[in-house]
Amino acid sequence: MPSIRRVARAGQTTEILEEHPYVGGEAPTRPSVTVSYAQTLDGRVATATGESKWISCPDSLRFAHEMRADNDAVLVGAGTVCKDDPRLTVRHVPGRSPLRVVVDSTLRTPPDAAVLADGAAPGTVLAVTDRAPAKRRERALSLGATVLRLPSDAYGRVDLAALLGELVAIGIGSVMVEGGATLITGFFRTGLVDRVAVCVAPKILGDGIEAIGDLGIRDLSQSLTLADVAVEPYGVDLILSGRVVYPDGVPDRG
C-alpha cells in the first residue's frame, strides 16, 4: 500500500506518495530505496582521479542534507569511504542524522574513518561478508560499530537484497544510496531502486567516473524511465527526481 511521507523543507511541508515494497499486503520486505548523487552535465560523479568535492553548488549540498534527514539510513560503498572519508551526518539543515551504512565486503573502512572516529561508530553499520577478516570485525565492534555479516552476491560482494532485508528487520523503512558509482550500479542491476533524486550541475568534465555503469541495456526500449518527475532549481543546479520504472518489471536477481 502506498503511504504518505511528509517532508519539511525551508518552512514548507511537501507530501510524497511512497510505494513501499509490500508483498500481498504483508509487512514490507525491504526499505524504500532512493538513489541520490550529484553529477555534471556529462554524467560524471567525479573526475578521472576520483575528486568529487564539490560537483554541486552549496544550495544542492543543503538538498543532500535534507535527503539524509528525511531517510532512516544513508548507504555508501567502501570506495567512497576510502576516497572521500564522509561523515554522512546532517549538518546544513535541521534534522536527525540517519543510520550510516557502509557496504564493505572485506571491511576495508579504516578505524580512523569519520564514520567510526570521534564517537561516530555507534551510529554506523558495516555490512560485510565472510571475506572480512575477524581482526577487522573485532576492531570495528570494539569501537562500537555494528558489523552485519551478510551473504555474498555472484561477484563475492555484499548481497544487497539481503542487506535491505536485515535493515527492514531493525525498523529501517527508507534508505538513501549516496554513492559511489559502483554501489549505485549494483542497486540498479538488482532492480532495488524505487526513486532517484539526481543533482545536475552546469559543469562538464569529459573523462571521469560515470554515475552509473553497465546495466546490460543495448536497446533504447529497455531504458529505465522515471515517472512522476519533478525538476527543481537549487542555486545554479537542477534536482531531477522521480520514481523508477523498469521496462519489464523488476529484473530477476537470480
Ligand X SMILES: NC(=O)c1ccc[n+]([C@@H]2O[C@H](COP(=O)([O-])OP(=O)(O)OC[C@H]3O[C@@H](n4cnc5c(N)ncnc54)[C@H](OP(=O)(O)O)[C@@H]3O)[C@@H](O)[C@H]2O)c1
Helix residue ranges, H only, 73-180: 78-84, 134-143, 160-169
Q: How far is the CB of 178 from ligand X (least distance, A)?
A: 6
Binding to ligand X in span 4-63, by CB under 6 A = 37-38, 45-46, 50, 52, 55
166 binds ligand X (CB under 6 A): no
Q: What share of the chain is helix, strand, coil (3-state, %, to 5)?
A: 20, 35, 45
83 binds ligand X (CB under 6 A): yes
Q: Give whichever of 78 and 99 is closer to ligand X, judged by the CB atom.
A: 78
Q: Give whichever of 31 and 180 is closer to ligand X, judged by the CB atom.
A: 180
Q: How far is the CB of 6 from ligand X (least distance, A)?
A: 25
Q: How far is CA 124 from the centre of its chain?
A: 14
Q: How far is the CB of 16 from ligand X (least distance, A)?
A: 21
**x/- track of binding to ligand X for residues 124-153 (CB under 6 A):** -----------------------------x
* CA dihedral sign, ordered 230, 191, 209, 214: negative
Q: Which of 68, 157, 167, 201 binds ligand X (CB under 6 A)?
A: 157
Element (H, E) at 6: strand 3-9
What are the strands of the beta sheet with 124-128, ordered from one edge?
A: 146-149, 124-128, 99-103, 73-77, 174-179, 32-40, 195-201, 237-245, 225-234
Long-range contacts at 58-61 (CB < 8 A, ≥ 24 apart): 58/235, 59/234, 59/235, 59/237, 60/199, 60/201, 60/234, 60/235, 60/237, 60/239, 61/92
Q: Which three cell numbers stand for residue 101?
A: 551504512
Binding to ligand X in span 195-254, by CB under 6 A = 209
Cα–Cα–Cα angle for 177, 180, 182, rounded to 5 degrees:
100
Asked if 7 contacts 13 with a C-beta cutoff of 8 angstroms, the reply is yes
Q: Give whichever of 37 and 63 is closer to ligand X, judged by the CB atom.
A: 37
Q: Which of 31, 98, 180, 208 binds ligand X (CB under 6 A)?
A: 180
Asked if 250 contacts 30 with a C-beta cutoff of 8 angstroms, the reply is no
Total residues in contact with ligand X, by rule CB under 6 A:
31
Q: Which of 61, 116, 158, 201 binds ligand X (CB under 6 A)?
A: 158
User: What number of other Cβ atoms are within 10 A of residue 2's Cβ?
Assistant: 10
**x/- track of binding to ligand X for residues 84-123 (CB under 6 A):** x------------------xxxx-x---------------
Q: How far is the CB of 115 from ligand X (least distance, A)?
A: 12
Q: How far is the CB of 144 from ligand X (least distance, A)?
A: 21
Give the interface with ligand X as residue ranges (CB under 6 A): 37-38, 45-46, 50, 52, 55, 76-80, 83-84, 103-106, 108, 153, 157-158, 160, 178-183, 186, 209
